[in-house]
Amino acid sequence: MSEAFQYPQQGIRLTVDAVVFGYHSDRLQVLLIRRKYAPFEGQWALPGGFVAEPESLEQAVERELSEETGLKINYLEQLFSFGEPRRDPRFRVVSIAYMAIIRSDNMPLQASTDATDAQWFDTQELPPLAFDHAQILEKAITRLRSKLRYQPIGFDLLPEKFLFSDLERLYSTILDQPLDRRNFRKKILSFGILEELSTKVSDGRGRPASLYRFDLDRYQALQHENFYFEIP
Amino acid sequence: MSEAFQYPQQGIRLTVDAVVFGYHSDRLQVLLIRRKYAPFEGQWALPGGFVAEPESLEQAVERELSEETGLKINYLEQLFSFGEPRRDPRFRVVSIAYMAIIRSDNMPLQASTDATDAQWFDTQELPPLAFDHAQILEKAITRLRSKLRYQPIGFDLLPEKFLFSDLERLYSTILDQPLDRRNFRKKILSFGILEELSTKVSDGRGRPASLYRFDLDRYQALQHENFYFEIP
DNA sequence: ACAAAAGTGTTAAGAATACACCCATGC
DNA sequence: GCATGGGTGTATTCTTAACACTTTTGT
């Protein structure tokens, strides 16, 4: 890993960036902050910042997110490290990007953060981003899509109790493809990781629908057997 | 990504490490180097080293590998970044690990590197490793296994021309599970990415077998259509 | 009664699995 | 002629994909 006597004094700085996904009004959203200082002053960027000496990388991400928004993270995963020499115009910065998911329960509403530094954006209507953050985000979306197919992270984007139609819309929105309602239902229910609640709710139009809850315990139990979550 | 006026002078150093896989005598092997200096002096470790200021991360990996062994890389992929504060006893080192594959054509033979600094080890018979390299390697093997199922990287571990039985043994060795010969053949051939050569070879016993070659052009052409390589 | 969304079952096609014998060569 | 590894086909099961009408509520 190194030679003994010469430790190069690198000018490389290390940051973490977070791609935080949320889901609101049938849209996949991402949390961006407005930069206060140069470079890219006033532009939108992914939340993140320098890693402090004693903290782990995950702690750095959680700290930055909590400092900026007080968000409670549901799911955190290392995405990729970005290290092109000129990605920051000031000096060399290598950034380790993480992907996070926030339940919409805990999300500040888009309207309520209006004109502040942190805002949710539809992934379909993004502003120009600082640095190589567009590239990071693109990679994150690709990863999210593929994870959605073989890990039950869809539930992490919904409130604790949700309608089956919410789940279906979430899948077809994020995967950007239509789904057959009957086949989707059959598949998801066949895993046996949803609990149907007795409550039925109606949004005023149409037939009232059952609420469902993701059964985490059951899912974890199944993982020890020969069980694979997968949406074809 | 940062506040404007205060750039923390981090004491964090950045390295890259490479998990280089090879395949020899029906064994998955990994390339290790013996450390010359403390810490972990004399112990085996993954090849790697500090990232130099102007080079990209990939360049750093390729440089380190080439400096140490002159190996020609076939496949290189970022694996994961390891940043636990105490993973290096001297000071904080964050390492970006890459996974590489070398064709056995280009590999120095195990016997010929005897008693030097770089050696191939069977992944089944590993020495104790420096730092958290055992953890890195474990992650790499997991990734290799899963990639083997949905990307044609198996061919990158074999010589240019190979027997079907070599390919089958490679799969069952790395995945550590038996395969049905007929079903495996049927599946692989159905992709149409192998070229059967007219030559037949015999190793002295048994019926002579056809040599095959991976058809990269064909594979790349197919990728633009609705084609997915997958071994179930 | 009608508009709106929820809920439900069957059939056909394709993919995965299980399984055993003959073939070509060297000795 | 026998030992060794190479090569081949079919039947069954499971999974996916395609597809449309009925139910429950609010207005």
Gap between the Cα atoms of B197 and B180, Å rounded: 23
Going from the C-alpha of B110 to that of each of A27, B84, B116, B119, the distances in angstroms are 55, 33, 10, 7
Residue B9 — pLDDT band, cuts 50, 70, 90?
low
A37 with B131: Cβ contact below 8 A: no
| Tens digit of each residue's pLDDT (9 = 90 or more) over A24-74 | 999 999 999 999 888 999 999 999 999 999 999 999 999 999 887 778 899
Gap between the Cα atoms of A63 and A51, Å rounded: 10
Q: What single-letter DSSP state applies at residue B94?
A: E
Parts of chain A belonging to CATH 1.10.10.10? 158-223
Strands across the sheet containing B161-163: B161-163, B209-214, B194-201
Which residues of chain A lie closer than 8 angstroms to B17, CB-CB? 1
- B58 SS3 class: helix
| Tens digit of each residue's pLDDT (9 = 90 or more) over B28-72 | 999 999 998 889 999 999 999 999 999 999 999 999 998 877 788
Residue in A with minimal Cα distance to B68: A1
Going from the C-alpha of B47 to that of each of A226, B52, B109, the distances in angstroms are 36, 15, 17
Parts of chain B belonging to CATH 3.90.79.10? 13-150
Which residues of chain A lie closer than 8 angstroms to B76, CB-CB? none
Gap between the Cα atoms of B26 and B108, Å rounded: 16
Q: What count of CB pairs under 8 Å joins A to B?
A: 115
- At residue A16, what is the residue type? V
The answer to whether strand C lies under 7 Å from the CB of residue A11 is: no
Nearest to B96 among A7, A13, A81 (CB): A81
CATH 1.25.40.10 applies to domain A13-150: no
Residue A108 — pLDDT band, cuts 50, 70, 90?
low
B38 with A4: Cβ contact below 8 A: yes
pLDDT over 90 (residue B115): no
Gap between the Cα atoms of A45 and A118, Å rounded: 10
Class of domain B158-223 as given by CATH: mainly alpha
Question: Which stretch, A18-27, A114-123, B59-68, has highest mean pLDDT?
Answer: A18-27
Residue in A with minimal Cα distance to B32: A1
Nearest residue to B118 (alpha-carbon basis) of B42, B46, B33? B33
Nearest to A50 among B8, B15, B52 (CB): B8
Nearest residue to B161 (alpha-carbon basis) of B115, B110, B104? B104
Nearest residue to B122 (alpha-carbon basis) of B18, B25, B47? B25
